[in-house]
């Protein structure tokens, strides 16, 4: 029996993971499930899957969690420390599917067990990629990518030498606003940006898809995870979301990974790796599909892509700053304090303001990453206030690392 822990069980990736596990319950023992404010769902999942422990990130929600779990054998816990403690409970396979930089600390703690971390939380690679990869090496743990593009690249690389890779192309649907005239984008609402044409995902990543901040994070994720040079990584707009990535080799061959837009493929691949097992995803009918289309990404329309290149060139703490500023800008957009195109402006300004910060130089360590994350949220708050003409809100809102 494979012992399973799922961080972010109540979210889109978490639910898809439980969907797969629930199909062959005898093969798994669910040790840990964690969630945020949706206590009803967390408790229902924990009871249904017979979890040993359920943890909510919010301490004030503990009484409700206890009440909903009353009479079951599920242990209840809450808060940041409880999340870390849960990541230290023995598990063979841990899914990291918390959204945002908040996923970093539990992921790092889980790696210390030396087992498998299925990584959906791309923000932890963007924020602290070298730390995460080093932690895995130190403890002999394995990280398996659970982003559709990175799972695709990983699969295309099976049996290949990384030196033979000439380029990696990660595709982007272009998100909900792909076909809007550019001048309308400034006025897009969270509802409009949050309606994805192809993928059914959490609200934050769906809006990040429309702004291409998601693809920007994924460019950095590709660089950090596979160690591929930034100039070898390309983005291609592919509105049908059927080809998830292509890997080009020195002999001119391209291996493309094609499949339906269903995260259960990437999750299932990581769950069963190194084997392939049957998965309940749609089988594609190419004759019915007719064709695929592609276009070059427009960096005026999606400035996040240009910013990702700057972050990869700068390295160090710029990924942590980039991600934290992006999370703060997204919060402000969701709160209707800034416009859709202002998210990239905020991130660009925060990166520029913090680029010369001497207190953040030197070797990368967790303290510095947390400090950079914290400061970037404060700077972003100031920039947001300047743009929206209001006072800065308390720094480090929901998703802060510190
Ligand atoms: P979601 O918003 O649907 O779920 C997020 C989960 O994290 C929930 O369980 C929530 O309760 C929990 N959470 C939120 N804030 C938290 C905090 N501060 N502390 C602890 N827990 C917290 O998100 P999602 O779409 O499932 O995405 C999860 C991760 O997977 C993200 O990093 C996302 O980029 C990545 N990802 C998602 C998809 C997708 O299809 N949804 C695809 C690729 C990668
Ligand atoms: Mg992706």
For residue range 111-129, list pLDDT tens digits in order.
999 999 999 999 999 999 9
Domains and CATH numbers, the chain: 2-145 (3.40.50.720), 150-289 (no CATH), 316-388 (1.10.1740.10)
Which residue has better confidence, 121 or 359?
121
Mean pLDDT of the chain: 95
- Asked whether 377 and 322 are in contact (CB, 8 A), the reply is no
Tell which atom from ligand 1 comes closest to the C-alpha of 42. 9
Write out pLDDT tens, residues 337-357.
Answer: 999 999 999 999 999 999 988
Tell me the sheet residues that pair with 243. 258
Residue-level pLDDT at 7: 98
Residue-level pLDDT at 118: 99
Buried b (16+ CB within 10 A) or exposed e, 244-259: bbbbbbeeeeebbbeb
According to the annotation, is 173 in a ligand binding site?
Answer: yes
Give yes or no for residue 306 having a pLDDT over 80. Answer: yes
How far, CA to CA in Å, does 130 sit from each of 99, 137, 160? 20, 10, 23
According to the annotation, is 36 in a ligand binding site?
Answer: yes
What backbone torsions phi and psi does residue 168 show, to the nearest 5 degrees? -125, 130
Instruction: Give Cβ neighbours of residue 340 (< 8 Å, ≥ 6 apart).
Output: 177, 185, 186, 187, 188, 193, 210, 211, 333
Residue-level pLDDT at 199: 84
395: confidence class by pLDDT, cuts 50, 70, 90: very low
Residue-level pLDDT at 196: 85
359: confidence class by pLDDT, cuts 50, 70, 90: confident
Q: How far is residue 320 CA from its own chain's centroid?
A: 13
What backbone torsions phi and psi does residue 256 show, to the nearest 5 degrees? -105, 140
Kindly list the protein residues that place their beta carbon closer than 5 angstroms to ligand 2, a single-atom ion: 147-149
What backbone torsions phi and psi does residue 201 show, to the nearest 5 degrees? -135, 180
Give yes or no for residue 401 having a pLDDT over 60. Answer: no
Tell me the sheet residues that pair with 167. 248
The ipTM is 0.99
How far is the C-alpha of 329 from the C-alpha of 356, rounded, in Å?
21
Question: Both tokens of residue 236?
Answer: 């291609």
Q: Which residues line ligand 1 (CB under 6 A)?
A: 8-14, 35-36, 57, 97-100, 102, 120-123, 147, 199, 201-202, 204-205, 263, 398-399
Residue-level pLDDT at 394: 46
How far is the C-alpha of 155 from the C-alpha of 222, rounded, in Å?
13
Average pLDDT, integer, range 309-328: 97
What angle do the packed helices 122-139 and 366-388 form, to 10 degrees? 180
C-alpha closest to that of 212 among 312, 301, 342: 301
Give yes or no for residue 396 having a pLDDT over 70. Answer: no
Residue nearest to ligand 1 atom 18, measured at CA: 399
pTM value surpassing 0.90:
yes
What backbone torsions phi and psi does residue 212 show, to the nearest 5 degrees? 70, 10
Residue-level pLDDT at 127: 98
Average pLDDT, integer, range 169-185: 96
Write out pLDDT tens, residues 250-287.
Answer: 999 999 999 999 999 999 999 999 999 999 999 999 99
Residue-level pLDDT at 397: 45
Is the dihedral angle over the CA atoms 119, 341, 328, 334 positive or is it negative?
negative
Instruction: Give Cβ neighbours of residue 28 (< 8 Å, ≥ 6 apart).
Output: 1, 2, 3, 4, 21
149: confidence class by pLDDT, cuts 50, 70, 90: very high
Write out pLDDT tens, residues 370-393.
Answer: 999 999 999 999 999 999 866 445
Look at residue 318 and give its three-state secondary structure: helix
How far is the C-alpha of 172 from the C-alpha of 177, rounded, in Å?
12
Write out pLDDT tens, residues 187-243.
Answer: 999 999 999 888 889 999 999 999 999 999 999 999 999 999 999 999 999 999 999
Residue labelled with tokens 């700053």: 321
What backbone torsions phi and psi does residue 242 show, to the nearest 5 degrees? -105, -40
Write out pLDDT tens, residues 154-173.
Answer: 999 999 999 999 999 999 99
């Amino acid at each position: 029996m494979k012992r399973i822990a799922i961080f972010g069980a109540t979210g889109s990736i978490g639910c898809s993971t439980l969907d797969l596990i629930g199909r062959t319950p005898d093969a798994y023992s669910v040790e840990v499930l964690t969630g945020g404010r949706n206590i009803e769902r967390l408790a229902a999942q924990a009871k249904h899957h017979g979890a040993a422990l359920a943890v909510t990130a919010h301490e004030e929600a503990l009484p409700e969690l206890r009440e909903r779990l009353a009479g079951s054998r599920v242990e209840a816990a809450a808060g940041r420390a409880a999340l870390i403690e849960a990541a230290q409970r023995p598990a063979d396979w841990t899914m990291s599917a918390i959204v945002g930089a908040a996923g970093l600390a539990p992921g790092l703690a889980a790696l210390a067990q030396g087992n498998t971390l299925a990584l959906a939380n791309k923000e932890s690679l963007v924020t602290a990629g070298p730390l995460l990869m080093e932690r895995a090496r130190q403890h002999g743990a394995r990280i398996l990518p659970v982003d559709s593009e990175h799972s695709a690249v990983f699969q295309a690389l099976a049996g290949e030498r990384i030196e033979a890779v000439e380029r990696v192309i990660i595709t982007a649907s272009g998100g909900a606003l792909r076909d809007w005239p550019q001048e309308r984008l400034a006025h897009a609402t969270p509802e409009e940006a949050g309606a994805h044409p192809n993928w059914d995902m959490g609200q934050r990543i769906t809006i990040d898809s429309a702004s291409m901040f998601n693809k920007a994070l994924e460019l950095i994720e590709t660089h950090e995870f596979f160690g591929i040079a930034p100039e070898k990584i390309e983005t291609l707009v592919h509105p049908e979301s059927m080809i998830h990535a292509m890997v080009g080799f020195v002999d001119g061959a391209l291996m493309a990974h094609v499949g339906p837009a269903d995260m259960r493929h990437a999750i299932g691949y990581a769950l069963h790796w190194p084997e392939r097992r049957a998965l309940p995803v749609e089988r594609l009918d190419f004759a019915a599909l007719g064709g695929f289309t592609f276009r070059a990404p427009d960096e005026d329309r999606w400035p996040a892509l240009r910013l990702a290149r700057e972050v990869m060139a700068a390295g160090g703490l710029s990924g942590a700053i980039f991600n934290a500023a992006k999370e703060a800008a997204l919060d402000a957009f969701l709160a209707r304090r800034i416009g859709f195109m202002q998210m990239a402006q905020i991130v660009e300004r925060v990166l520029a303001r913090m680029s010369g910060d001497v207190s953040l130089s030197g070797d990368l360590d967790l303290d510095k990453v947390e400090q950079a994350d914290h400061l970037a949220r404060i700077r972003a708050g100031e920039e947001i206030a300047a743009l929206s003409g209001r006072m800065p809100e308390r720094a480090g809102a929901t998703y802060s690392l510190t």
